[in-house]
Amino acid sequence: MAVKPFKRQGDLLPETPPAADIPQTEPEARDGQEAVPAPSGSGLLYRIKADPRRYILSTIGVLLALFLGYQGIHWFVAGRYEETTDNAYIRADIATIAPKVQGYVEKVLVTDNQVVKAGDLLVSLETADYTTRTAEADAALQQAIADGAQARARVAAAEAALETAAAQVSAQRDRLTQAKAQTDAAKADADLAASDLERYAELTAKGHYPKAGLDAAQTKAQASRATLTQAKAAVTAAQSELGVAQASYHGAEQNLS
């Protein structure tokens, strides 16, 4: 006996004709409405046309979520550290800012409620007056330096003059000492010549010494007296020159002081 094959459930369903074979029918109109043709195409444009209000609400929701997210991040990063208020007062520390020098403000380098820290430049002052004063001070400094150089030169010259005067005083003292020694020697020679002349004169008068020897003794005595006179004059000149040298020395001391 032949057995017929058993058909599965899917085999019992009628075959679906291809989409191309399905006839396109116009949608039926509802009561009191005109029939609207089915929209052509698919995707975002189709969904917008199908339910525009839902698309608008979704877009607004996404933008609102982005805005709230941005505000939340800003508050977490910086907003929670800032105090803001409208027409109110807050308590805060006040720091008095004053320049070290007086002057007119040329430029303000900060704005209201700007955050600053120690060392930031807040205000710049006009520098014209201070530039002029600085130039004058520099000129005065250069003049003082030049005056100092001249003063040092004068001091050096005065020191040199003082040394020269001291050397002259020392030399004149030596000359005076030498002149006095020569005077003493000339006086001794003159005294000896005078004594010899007196003795030779007595001997000649008694006929014990020749007349020529007496004449020679007289000549020697005269020469000795002349030498003594010159020696005394040299002493006087040396004393005078020593006084001049000492005066020069005292003048050099005054110039140096």
216 occurs within a structural domain: yes
Q: Measured between alpha carbons, how far is 15 from 18 in angstroms, rounded to an integer?
A: 9
Q: Measured between alpha carbons, how far is 86 from 31 in angstroms, rounded to an integer?
A: 60
Domain range for 208: 161-256
The count of structural domains within the chain is 1
Taking Cα atoms as reference points, which of 106, 223, 243 lies closest to residue 251?
243
Mean pLDDT for each consecutive 10-residue tract of the chain (257 residues)? 44 45 46 48 62 82 91 83 68 80 89 87 90 94 95 89 90 90 89 86 81 84 88 90 89 81
Q: Measured between alpha carbons, how far is 186 from 226 in angstroms, rounded to an integer?
A: 9
What does pTM read for this prediction?
Answer: 0.43
* pLDDT tens for each residue of 124-157: 999 888 899 999 999 999 999 999 999 899 889 9
As a dihedral over the C-alpha atoms of residue 8, residue 10, residue 11, residue 16, rounded to 10 degrees, the angle is 180
17 occurs within a structural domain: no
96 occurs within a structural domain: no
* pLDDT tens for each residue of 24-35: 444 444 454 444
- Tally Cβ neighbours within 10 Å of residue 28: 6
The values of phi and psi at residue 27, to 5°, are: -65, 145
Q: Please tell me the predicted confidence (pLDDT) of residue 19.
A: 44
175 occurs within a structural domain: yes
211 occurs within a structural domain: yes
151 occurs within a structural domain: no
